[in-house]
Structure 1
Amino acid sequence: MTLRFIGIDPNTGTGESPTVWVDQTKSELVIQGWKAGPELEAAVAAFDMPGHAVGIPEHETVVRIPARMVPILRKACDAAERTELR
């Protein structure tokens, strides 16, 4: 696995660090964020649409990241696409 650091929350303080990487081997985004918490997890678990199983599978999780990180996510998406095209 080759992780490429893309960016960290610009308002990171002590002990908090939402961060984004790209796994260059798999062309995937790797995101560290805040735990979603029971209320948000329940809302996501109840989400029902075609192609989306109800509930959160045991091997998945829900995280929150601040909207101020959108530019970092865009950069990560671009980097993942470039990796995928190789």
Structure 2
Amino acid sequence: MALRLLAIDPNTQGGNCLAVIMDEQTGDVLFQGWTETDPATLEEAAQHSPLAPHETLVRFPARMRKLILEALSDRDTGT
């Protein structure tokens, strides 16, 4: 498997970084972020799309929105 870093939190201090990574073989996108644990947030999100037992809700800070959009729109997906 070949993974390519697409975007990383600009406020990172090294290690434990919020990141967007692409699997170059499949084009799948991986998100490394904060696992959402707030019950109210999880309940409200489930009203839109219930989480399966193997899924998690990941939170990114607003400062990463532009980076994520650029990473997903400017890069070759490999598919």
Q: Give TM-score scaled by structure 2 length.
A: 0.77
CA distance in structure 1 between the aligned counterparts of 2:14 and 2:43, rounded to whole angstroms: 29
Offset of residue 62 of structure 1:
0.3
Match in the other structure for 2:55:
60
Offset of residue 38 of structure 1:
2.9
Unpaired runs of 5+ residues, structure 2, are none
Equivalent residues in 2 for 1:6-85, closer than 5 Å: 6-13=6-13, 16-39=16-39, 40-45=41-46, 47-48=47-48, 52=49, 55-78=50-73, 79=75, 81-84=76-79
Of all paired residues, the percent bearing the same amino acid is 32
Amino acid at match of 2:66: P
Do the aligned residues in 2 keep the contact of 1:18 with 1:32 (CA within 8 Å)?
A: yes
Unpaired runs of 5+ residues, structure 1, are none
Offset of residue 22 of structure 1:
0.9
- After superposition, the CA RMSD in angstroms is 2.0
Structure 1 residue runs of 4+, over 4 Å off? none
Identify if the C-alpha distance between structure 1 residues 82 and 15 changes in structure 2 by more than 3 Å, giving closer, same or farther: closer
Give the count of matched residue pairs.
77
